[in-house]
Amino acid sequence: GPPCLLILDNLETVWELLQLRKEIEEFLSLLAGADHLAMMITMRGAERPAKVQWTRPFVLPVSPLSQDAAQKMFIDIADDTHDPEEIDEILSLTDNMPLAISLLAHLAATEGCSNVLSHWNREKTALISEGYDKRDNLDLSISMSLSSPRMTSEPHSCKLLSLLAILPSGISDIELVQSKIPIQNIHSCKTALICTTLAYIDEHKRLKVLVPTGVYGDLIHQVVLGRDPR
């Protein structure tokens, strides 16, 4: 038959279920062996299913945009009639994360940058979870990662996330060991955060969270401390 492209979006929805992982990988292997069929998958995290000879070089996980690309994306959505300093201030809230840029830019297009900044100070990530398309919901995206099987299998991962939320410079592996942080299985927790894209390793080899995730993690931190996060 003619060449065909099969795209499997959000594969982590089923692949993260440990009891189904073997069957999912076997199914993908079967698909990969079909003649005239090319397969593309999208999924959260830094892992890829085994038993498939994926095209090399491997596609790297989606990373934050460069500042120039982030500004262009914002202006393409919200127009270039806004104060450049306010645009940069809004972008600083997103860590150049494409989903967050898109959501805030759409708000700025209708409400203006000043109002968006004012609302952010009160509402944080909830501001971009009530937007123009409920499928593009930042709180939902983060909460799905938090409730994934990988995270629930390491229940102390949320404590590490809440710690990273108050450490804008992140933390190194050496600091994780030397500081004797009272979190059980802390290296497994670190792996869980990275594999669910709730955290990442920056160019200086430090474990960090993006600003929107950090805001969400700070709410967790308040709950852990028994405070009202509102």
| Chunked mean pLDDT (size 10), the chain, 230 residues | 91 82 93 92 83 87 88 93 91 86 87 87 64 55 77 88 89 90 91 87 88 70 48
pLDDT at 78: 92
pLDDT at 228: 45
Query: Please, which residues have CB within 8 angstroms of residue 196's CB and are 6 or more apart in sequence?
Result: 44, 45, 145, 146, 148, 150, 151
Sign for the CA dihedral angle at 176, 178, 181, 184 comes to: positive
Q: How far apart, in Å, are the Cα atoms of 107 and each of 56, 74, 120, 129?
A: 39, 11, 11, 11
pLDDT at 138: 67
- Could you tell me if 93 and 214 are in contact, meaning their C-beta atoms sit under 8 angstroms apart? no
Provide the CATH topology of domain 149-224. Answer: Arc Repressor Mutant, subunit A (1.10.10)
Query: Please, which residues have CB within 8 angstroms of residue 159's CB and are 6 or more apart in sequence?
Result: 183, 189, 224
Identity (one letter) of the amino acid at 22?
K
Q: Where in the chain is the domain with CATH 1.10.10?
A: 149-224
Cis? peptide before 57, omega within 30° of 0: yes
Strand, helix or coil for residue 12: helix
pLDDT at 127: 61
Sign for the CA dihedral angle at 9, 131, 209, 77 comes to: positive
pLDDT at 132: 46
Cβ burial, residue 19 (10 Å; 0-12/13-18/19+): exposed
pLDDT at 230: 47
Tell if the pTM clears 0.85, that is, is over it. Answer: no
